[in-house]
Structure 1
């Protein structure tokens, strides 16, 4: 197994585990473990490919996106996270999701880097689906109803995902290669 495929596999499996620990844990008061899953996931990826310098800008982009987007949903009360009272700052497990998602554009989501319209569709539909499942699992609630949140999620994620994909492509030097060979 080459390093690129191994890093992609670790990222794919790691992000699925991250999502579960974050959302299910967020619903049960142990969402902070999502940060540990993120650290382990990235540690394993970096041990395999030694590409941490390529990932840091995407981790920063995920943090910036979280800092900009979450208050837009929290402040007007479109979403409330379980056991979380701040309306301007998301809980740690949400930060872990944003960072893990953003860095995935170097690995399991690299296929979207040159497919920006598909990335927008993926973002709009996937964002609404993800938040809906999270709400049904009890990680969050929608004080103003599902439709206002779903509409804003659809629009925001339809913009954020192609921006992350494009940013990852630019950071990779515009290379057509979907996953870097760090060997």
Structure 2
């Protein structure tokens, strides 16, 4: 496993300015239009090179409308009732395979707007990085869409991005100065550190 390159912060002095979401977010989350077929999202997730946790549904102006996760896709093509029936031994494997194939055939061209979630919280690009951590923890999710003042999707912040931030802070030569200048941050976020 190769080491990840350090995050490059936006702004002049990485540790002398507030740590805002816009400084650490990924700028290239996957986007689709609301009328794109579900099969496009399935193909995207099947590609091992993709990094986004979610596929964001945006309108023509880039305004966030919803999100499609792997869980929505699995629920569509492998309905919980079918999985539960199989688990209880009520369906034979050939019957399950037939039902899955039927589900794929029936749903592959459905527009993503019909299965997208609209309840995912967002975080503003200018928010402090701990705001994202709080939402990720409270909602038990792995990523948050980052929006601007008009609701346009501008990025994504994930738990991994926050961990990389912490790793960079831990390995920063001026960590002592950072702790001294931002004592309130380290006092309120001790849950991040192990040891």
Q: TM-score, normalised on structure 2?
A: 0.24
Larger Rg: 2
**Which structure is higher in strand share?**
2
- Structure with the bigger percentage of helix: 1
